[in-house]
Amino acid sequence: MELLRIGEKLVSIGRIHRTVERILQLRSQGQSQQEVADQIGVDRTFISRLEGLGEVRKGGRLALIGFPVGNKEEIELMARQEGVDYVLVMTDDERWDFAQDRSGVQLVNELMVMFSQLRDYDTVIFLGSDMRIKLVEAMLEPGTLLGIELGKSPMQEDKYVDPRDLQAVIRSLMDTSN
């Protein structure tokens, strides 16, 4: 147990960490700030300030899907740093492996589950071909898809996505949802 002396007090850093984790866990499960404050024994304003310290962004849930992306790792890293909730980016080889490693039934089932889950997001950014954008748009709620065309279908090679341009799009979506 790591202890820290602050004036006349002896403070347990581990206890602070566990309490903060518990507060955030309860809040993420849907309890109000006041309910959690009452349960933990702190002021509601403490919980508000705690959340403010760790806040990455405000707004609705955001997903990013894209293929075939040549600079996949760079795009994934940027998206995670920006607080994108769900990121699935594939190179051309990865998308073919994804499709070929499954039977037809498995592929259809996985895609159905994925699109079902995507309906939980307020906005889905989709990086892909003109044809794929239209297909994805037809499967999601109207107004939730932001399609960014990487080329005309069929695309058979990885495309470079400018991370700064995509970052600007992500940030603009966050700004409009505040």
pLDDT of residue 107: 93
- How high is the pLDDT of residue 178? 45
66, 48: one domain? no
pLDDT of residue 173: 86
Same domain (yes/no): 104, 169:
yes
Average pLDDT, the chain: 92
Number of domains in the chain: 2
pLDDT value at position 59?
A: 67
Residues 109 and 27 in one domain: no
Do residues 119 and 66 both lie within one domain?
yes
Higher pLDDT, 34 or 60: 34
Check whether 123 has a pLDDT greater than 70.
yes
Angle at 139 between CA 138 and CA 144, to 5 degrees: 85
The verdict on 66 and 96 lying in the same domain is yes
Domain boundary among 18, 37, 54: 54
C-alpha gyration radius of the chain: 21
Whether residue 38 is found in the same domain as residue 102:
no
Whether residues 38 and 69 fall in one domain: no
Task: Provide the residue range defining the domain that includes 104.
Answer: 62-177
Q: Are residues 134 and 86 in the same domain?
A: yes
Do residues 31 and 115 share a domain?
no
pLDDT single digits (tens) 37-62? 999 999 999 999 998 887 655 668 89
80-98 pLDDT, tens digit each: 999 999 999 999 999 999 9
Residues 137 and 74 in one domain: yes
The CATH number of the domain holding residue 33 is 1.10.10
CB neighbours of residue 57 within 10 Å = 17
| pLDDT > 90 in the chain, percent | 82
Quick one: pLDDT band at residue 1, thresholds 50, 70, 90? Answer: confident
Task: Give the confidence band of 15 by pLDDT, cuts at 50, 70, 90.
Answer: very high
Question: Does residue 66 sit in helix, strand or coil?
Answer: strand
Average pLDDT over residues 20-36: 93
> What 8-state DSSP symbol labels residue 152?
S
CATH number assigned to the domain comprising residue 78: 3.40.50
pLDDT of 160? 98
Query: SS3 letters for 79-97?
Result: HHHCCCCEEEECCHHHHHH
Residues 104 and 158 in one domain: yes
